[in-house]
Amino acid sequence: MIDLKNVSVAYKEKEVLNKLSLSAEKGEIIGLVAPNGTGKTTLFNVMANFLKPNSGVVTFNGKNEYKTEKDELTIHKQLATLPDQSDLFEELSGVDHIKLYANMWKGTTKHVQGIIDQLHMNSYVKQKVHTYSLGMRQRLCFAMIVAADTPVMLMDEVMNGLDVANVELLSNRLIQMKRENKLIFIASHLLDNLDLYADRVLFLRDGIIIHEQQLTHETDNYLKIELKPDQYNRLAREHSLPEGHYYIADHICCIPLADMDLTQQREWIERLLTHQGKQLTIGPLGTVEYYEKYYHEKKSESDRSATYKLEID
């Protein structure tokens, strides 16, 4: 569906993308994570042809590239980007915005009311946008790209400003769209949320993909517990930590279970439970753990999952 080969982008002396390559197929949701200012938006802009790379090629369906006006039109019929809230027209209603996107890409608005119903927008969608809250605006932006119904979609911080209920609402729609064979790229700071619907998550650093986390394949389980550095150091002195364990961002200890028998697993569970008041979990490493591992940065609770204060629409 889409291939990037050796894509490089530099701003003056700073290289943002460095010969980056990736391939993606329809029916995938691909998460994209990295600290701010490290290339996520630049990558989306290159894919959407908002920015020409210094070198490299973006190819759609194995044949279309951004070389001629005809090719550009062909690609833009297949790709839509999540509109920014600043792009909204304050004096137009929400339904006018959704119909605009529907007409631009689909040439019909027959499917618009179904989107409004599913996203619970009927109570306000006919009001002018200047009356909308932050969460209502973001839901509108999502409804617009859903109405475009393109095979490829790029969504930058699609969950921004949403409460828990609306994050769940949009997540369910994303899963539905994946089943409809859409190819969706999502850059998000809600890392736990990505684990719910993404097939894989790409981690960017120094202009390249440093890790690809597969979420649809079987993965190894770990015992995971938060420990302060002195607690972890004491544990390491008193016991031989198994090969392949991690101590991530100076706060979370991950003990692999793959090569242990039941007796050894029980011993390690009992050992870690001696740290009273610390929650012990069992499971694969998720996007949060990989983020903290590769960027050496502890994520706050608001950046892990949808824990925003509920808003009243």
DSSP string for 112-172: HHHHHHHTT-TTTTTSBGGG--HHHHHHHHHHHHHHH--SEEEEESTTTT--HHHHHHHHH
Distance CA 97, CA 119 (A): 15
pLDDT tens figures, 204-221: 998 999 999 988 666 789
Closest CA to 191 of 43, 34, 45, 296: 34
- Scored b (16 or more CB within 10 A) or e, 123-142 reads ebbeeebeebeebbbbbbbb
Sheet holding 2-11, edge to edge: 14-24, 2-11, 55-60, 64-65
List Cβ<8 Å contacts ≥24 apart for 35-43.
35/295, 35/297, 38/204, 38/205, 39/9, 39/204, 39/207, 40/156, 40/187, 40/204, 41/156, 41/187, 42/9, 42/16, 42/17, 43/7, 43/17, 43/204
Contact 48, 79 (CB under 8 A): yes
Show the beta-strand stretches assigned E in the chain: 2-11, 14-24, 28-33, 55-60, 64-65, 79-81, 152-156, 183-187, 200-205, 208-214, 222-226, 246-248, 252-256, 280-283
Distance CA 122, CA 141 (A): 15
How much is the pTM?
Answer: 0.88
Rg over CA atoms, the chain: 22
Choose the weakest-confidence range: 52-61, 122-131, 188-197. 188-197
pLDDT tens figures, 231-259: 999 999 999 999 999 999 999 999 999 99
In the predicted model, what is the mean pLDDT of residues 91-102? 98
Residue 218, pLDDT score: 63
DSSP summary character for residue 93 = B
Q: Supply the mean pLDDT for the chain.
A: 91
